Amino acid sequence: MFGFPPLPPFEGMHPIVVHFPIAILMIAWLPILLALADKKRRNHWITSAFLLLVLGTLFSFGAVLTGEATEDVVDKGSQLLEQAVHQHEETAEMARNIFIALTLLAAAVLFVRAKAPEAKKKTASSIGGVFIAALYIFGIMTLANASHQGGVLVHDLGIHAPVGTFDPATLESSYESHEDDD
């Protein structure tokens, strides 16, 4: 019998929410490459990249909020675990802040491209593009570092968000109902 699992408590949402900004921000550069290759639809690709950047940055707020809620309820057990959790939190907040700055910079460049005289558009786009690329690379490196630290917390150090309670009776009844179908 198919059914949706219950949603975890807010402090257990971090493993679900955190993957959205990672995935979205890690692929936001693809439309920029397409913009460089497809001059006919360049503005559409640039808009797509900007929307991915905005979406990923918004999801980063949810990732940080749920991470802080998880931090409040997990058993860190030792000073080493406490330090590892704190380092992960600081790196994740830095990544979020970099992407906030990047999103604002990209918005400013898009605004200048839309409003500046034709002679200044190319210069603004070129200079802005260099800063955006540099900040994006730094942001992705920081995000990858925070992601790796989170993976170490879960897979190496055994820290897990409270995603809910496991009821073996539910699994057994589901298994028994499938046996009856045969």
Rg of the chain (C-alpha set): 22
Predicted local distance difference test score (pLDDT) of residue 4: 81
Domain boundaries, the chain: 10-181
Q: Place 2 in a pLDDT band, splitting at 50, 70 and 90.
A: confident
What's the mean pLDDT in 13-39?
93
Pairwise CA distance, residues 135 & 155, whole Å? 30
Q: What's the longest Cα–Cα distance across the chain?
A: 75
Q: Place 123 in a pLDDT band, splitting at 50, 70 and 90.
A: confident
Pairwise CA distance, residues 130 & 127, whole Å? 5
Predicted local distance difference test score (pLDDT) of residue 120: 78
What confidence tens digit (pLDDT) does each residue in 62-90 have? 999 999 999 988 887 888 899 999 999 99
Pairwise CA distance, residues 109 & 103, whole Å? 10
Identity of the residue numbered 135: L
